[in-house]
Homo-oligomer: A and B are copies of this chain.
Amino acid sequence: MTRLSEFYYYDIALITKLIRSKKAGNILLQVPEGLKALACSLLDELKDRLKDVEIHIDLSPSYGSCLIDTDVTSSYDLVINLGHEKYPYWSPPDNVYFIDLLYRKPLSTEVINNTISKITELGKNVAVYSTAQHKHEVPKLAKILSSKGINVINDLSSPVIFGCWFSDLDNVLGNIDAVLVISGGYFHSVGVGLRIRNSKPVFKLDPYEQKAELINDKVYRFLKIRYSKIMNAFDAKNWLIVAGACGQYRPNIVRKLEKLLKKNNASYYISRVAILNEHTLRNIDTETIDAIIVTSCPRLPIEDLSRYHKPVLTPGEALMILSNRIHDYIFPW
């Protein structure tokens, strides 16, 4: 069996101690989507260290710390959520603990040198962020950058970004020449690009691919698609608002959109669902609905629902239409 510990570091002593200190008899293990199959190896490891505890694996989507099935967690003494940091705007049930899962393979010297030479052409000031799996790389990279005369401007005590939340990026944006994002895939770096309206170079440093990459072209393609969705929704009269569950239920945003929809003489329905996909949407959609706003996870319209035959917008995009302000792309809201 491939072991989680081959690729990721987690503090097994800390987890064991946590289970013992909470006198937890039954435990639920939550692992990010791509690593769920490796959760079994961690479970085996814990079973070896802790006899007489029962550990189950949560199969619900674990894309982040915002969506946790509270009915399921309620049947456990302790819930161990691996690889995520707490979502800043929602507190999960008290029995949920977030434990670091850190990718073992460091950024290669080649990737770092490549980045430095590219950055040097652009300026002297950067911000460095990472996903939760790579946060230990941030101070290491910052130190090397500083030694090469590049100023790392952002607060390194909180460099972790989410798909919808970007630490203190907004505060430093005016003072930087580029953003560096240590992450796999394009999800987080594209998020940064959308957040800053593609206004600065965004470099993705990928520890899996061992590659430094400027991703602004990709962001631009996303922006083109998003603007086409916005244009398609411009004359919408009948809207469907989809609200979420747990940390993805954001009633204030629903209220704000309702207010604007009323002001625009538009009609609307509000719906609720924890897990949204195209099939869920088709179930409720009728020919009378012109456009859809997803107020749960703002990445669903962008990554999952961009092929839907009607415009599916993020709250920020809907706000652009409803407040007649399409000149500045708003993400994520």
Residues of chain A having any CB pair with chain B under 8 Å? 1-2, 28, 33, 36-37, 39-40, 43, 54, 56-60, 69-72, 75, 242-243, 245-246, 249, 251, 269-276, 280-281, 283-286, 288
Of A37, A251, A271, A285, the most chain B CB neighbours within 10 A belong to A271
Expressed in whole angstroms, the minimum distance between the Cβ of A36 and any Cβ of chain B is: 4
A271 and B59 in contact (CB under 8 A), knowing A36-B284, A284-B39, A286-B37? Answer: yes
Q: Give the chain B neighbours of A1 by CB distance below 8 A.
A: 286, 288
A76 to chain B, nearest CB (A): 9
**A310 → chain B, closest Cβ, in Å?**
13
A-B contact pairs, 29 of them (CB 8 A): A2-B286, A33-B283, A36-B283, A37-B286, A39-B284, A40-B284, A40-B288, A54-B270, A56-B271, A57-B269, A57-B270, A57-B271, A57-B272, A58-B271, A58-B272, A59-B283, A60-B275, A69-B71, A69-B245, A70-B70, A70-B71, A71-B71, A71-B245, A71-B249, A72-B245, A72-B249, A72-B273, A72-B274, A75-B272
A288 to B59, CA, bound (A): 17
Give bound CA distance, A249 to B75, whole Å: 10
Residues in B neighbouring A285, C-beta threshold 8 A = 37
When the two chains form the complex, which single residue of B33, B40, B59 contacts A273, counting CB atoms closer than 8 Å?
Answer: B59
Assess the A284–B70 pair: CB atoms within 8 A.
Answer: no
Known: A40-B288, A71-B274, A72-B274. 11 other contacts (CB 8 A): A33-B283, A37-B285, A56-B243, A56-B270, A59-B242, A59-B283, A69-B274, A71-B246, A71-B249, A72-B249, A75-B272
